[in-house]
Amino acid sequence: MTTRWLTPEEQRAWRAYVAGYLLLEDTIDRQLQQEAGMPHLYYSILANLSEAPERRLRMTDLAERLKITRSRLTYAVTRLEKDGLLRREECRWDKRGSVAVLTDEGMTVLERAAPGHVETVRAFLFDRLTPEQVGQLEEIFTQVTQGLQGGDSEAVPEDLPWRRRSSPCSGTP
Amino acid sequence: MTTRWLTPEEQRAWRAYVAGYLLLEDTIDRQLQQEAGMPHLYYSILANLSEAPERRLRMTDLAERLKITRSRLTYAVTRLEKDGLLRREECRWDKRGSVAVLTDEGMTVLERAAPGHVETVRAFLFDRLTPEQVGQLEEIFTQVTQGLQGGDSEAVPEDLPWRRRSSPCSGTP
DNA sequence: TAGGTTTGTTTCAAACTTGAACCAAGACCC
DNA sequence: GGGTCTTGGTTCAAGTTTGAAACAAACCTA
């Protein structure tokens, strides 16, 4: 099968995208590290928990929402637990499971960190986009996300050896 | 100063974007790791060199193009050098400098890896976007990139303590 | 209900990233 | 020439990520 290379437009888009997200992630990480002592992902963990009912989530659910591997999450949660920002509890219904719970201290840290974070996201992303572009951004990445793990098994070859298999994730019983 | 929180539209866009790029990067990394034995960044290093005149670039130039720190690049180049995919040479005009040169073997590896990589980028990104969206993607991230390091010092507060300072990068004398 | 499979999570070693500290060479200045 | 400042690059330790392997609990199924 002969390769369908990228068109010039696609190449330009691809390069702009890669450059942009690297710089943006880098900036966000640096800001959060500086002001909250943790990288972006760790902040997202706290943020996710803070919005969950009772501020608690199963590890697998959390990993699923964050789009990261469980092993990565384990490491991060261990660190945050050491810092006292969350604690682990065992799952009542499924003794295999464990649940991460945001502590009050975690909530405080999150609240303190949020303004600076939002300010950064604004300054370097949203303040530079028109409302239409905000919509386009959502649209584009929603499609990407769906393609990568939303249920549409039609369009994507199922048998690529290197694809991550998405475990069907269970919520509360 | 009171925080300007994200609007609901911005929130949705932000979440879609973060989810999307995590999944996409993850997929690309996994594919390249599987088929070429290296992560995305390392592939990009080879790709960049392959397009440069004489397949050679100053370390700083390379870091600048890739939007990564010099220290990160040093590590990556050391690994690729060990693998024989590139070699370091010292810079003739500036004895501090060193230059990364793509070897023939590196070129071969790159050429072998390219089709699979492009296929992945296509399958999970471009094949899912309309031509308009491709244009929008470019537009959006070009703006982000410029804001983050293009010269427009107007719009961005200069004195945020956590910003990366972009070293004015020098090319050939 | 024993035996086999799947699922939820952790563990471990190897690879990678980060930021600060360091070193040497150019540039500037008197 | 002899400071001093800047630039290009590497080094080092600490932190993070990866993927495979290990475990244990839950779920079949004969």
How high is the pLDDT of residue A76? Answer: 98
- Whether the predicted pLDDT of B9 surpasses 50: yes
H or E segment and range at residue B100: strand B98-102
CA dihedral A65, A71, A77, A82 (to 10 degrees): -170
Token pair for A27 = 């900036």
Of A12, A124, A144, the CB nearest to B124: A144
Chain A partners within 8 Å of B114 (Cβ): 3
Mean pLDDT of A27-55: 97
Distance separating alpha carbons of residues B61 and A34, to the nearest angstrom: 27
- Residue A122 φ/ψ region, left for φ over 0, alpha for ψ in the -120 to 50 degree band, beta for the rest: alpha
pLDDT bin (cut points 50, 70, 90) of residue B48 is very high
Q: Which comes out higher in pLDDT, residue B160 or B63?
A: B63
Q: Which comes out higher in pLDDT, residue A171 or A67?
A: A67
Identify which of A39, A143, A4, A49 has the alpha carbon closest to the alpha carbon of residue B16. Answer: A143
How high is the pLDDT of residue B97? Answer: 92
Chain A partners within 8 Å of B124 (Cβ): 144, 147-148, 156
Round the average pLDDT of chain B to a whole number and report it. Answer: 91
Mean pLDDT of B142-158: 74
Chain A partners within 8 Å of B141 (Cβ): 13, 16-17, 19-21
Token pair for A94 = 């499924």
Strand C: which nucleotides have any atom within 7 A of a protein Cβ?
Answer: 7-12, 15-21, 24-26
Q: What is the DSSP string of chain A?
A: ----PPPHHHHHHHHHHHHHHHHHHHHHHHHHHHHHSS-HHHHHHHHHHHHSGGGEEEHHHHHHHHT--HHHHHHHHHHHHHTTSEEEEE-SS-TT-EEEEE-HHHHHHHHHHHHHHHHHHHHHTGGGS-HHHHHHHHHHHHHHHHHHHSS-TTTS-TT-TTPPP--------
How high is the pLDDT of residue A169? Answer: 37
* A130 Cβ contact partners less than 8 Å away, ≥ 6 residues apart: none
In this structure, is the CB of residue B36 within 7 Å of any atom belonging to strand D? no
72-111 of B, contacting A, C-beta below 8 A: none
Least confident of A127-141, A155-169, B115-129: A155-169
Which protein residue has its CA closest to C1' of C20?
B71
Of B26, B142, B161, the CB nearest to A16: B142
Mean pLDDT of A113-139: 97
- CATH number (1.10.10.10, 3.40.50.620, 1.20.1070.10, 3.30.460.80) of A16-119 reads 1.10.10.10
Query: A136 touching B, CB under 8 A?
Result: yes
Could you tell me what percent of chain B has a pLDDT over 90?
82
* A63 Cβ contact partners less than 8 Å away, ≥ 6 residues apart: A69, A70, A72, A73
pLDDT digits 0-9 by tens, B54-103: 999 999 999 999 999 999 999 999 999 999 999 999 998 899 999 999 99
Of B114, B123, B129, the CB nearest to A140: B129
Phi/psi of residue A169, nearest 5 degrees: -95, 140
How high is the pLDDT of residue B155? Answer: 58
Token pair for B92 = 């003739």
**CA nearest A30 in B: which residue?**
B162
Distance separating alpha carbons of residues B64 and B61, to the nearest angstrom: 5
pLDDT bin (cut points 50, 70, 90) of residue B158 is low
- Whether the predicted pLDDT of B171 surpasses 90: no
Q: Which comes out higher in pLDDT, residue B151 or A124?
A: A124
How high is the pLDDT of residue A75? Answer: 98
How high is the pLDDT of residue B102? Answer: 98
Interface touch B124/A156, C-beta < 8 Å: yes
Distance separating alpha carbons of residues B29 and B43, to the nearest angstrom: 10
Query: B6 touching A, CB under 8 A?
Result: yes
Instruction: Provide the shortest C-alpha distance from residue A116 to chain B (in Å).
Output: 8
Interface touch A142/B114, C-beta < 8 Å: no
Instruction: Provide the shortest C-alpha distance from residue B35 to chain A (in Å).
Output: 9
Q: Which comes out higher in pLDDT, residue A151 or B131?
A: B131
How high is the pLDDT of residue B163? Answer: 76
> What is the residue extent of each domain of chain B?
18-145
The CATH number given to B18-145 is: 1.10.10.10
Chain A partners within 8 Å of B4 (Cβ): 118-119, 122
**CA nearest A15 in B: which residue?**
B138
Distance separating alpha carbons of residues B102 and A137, to the nearest angstrom: 36
Could you tell me what percent of chain A has a pLDDT over 90?
82
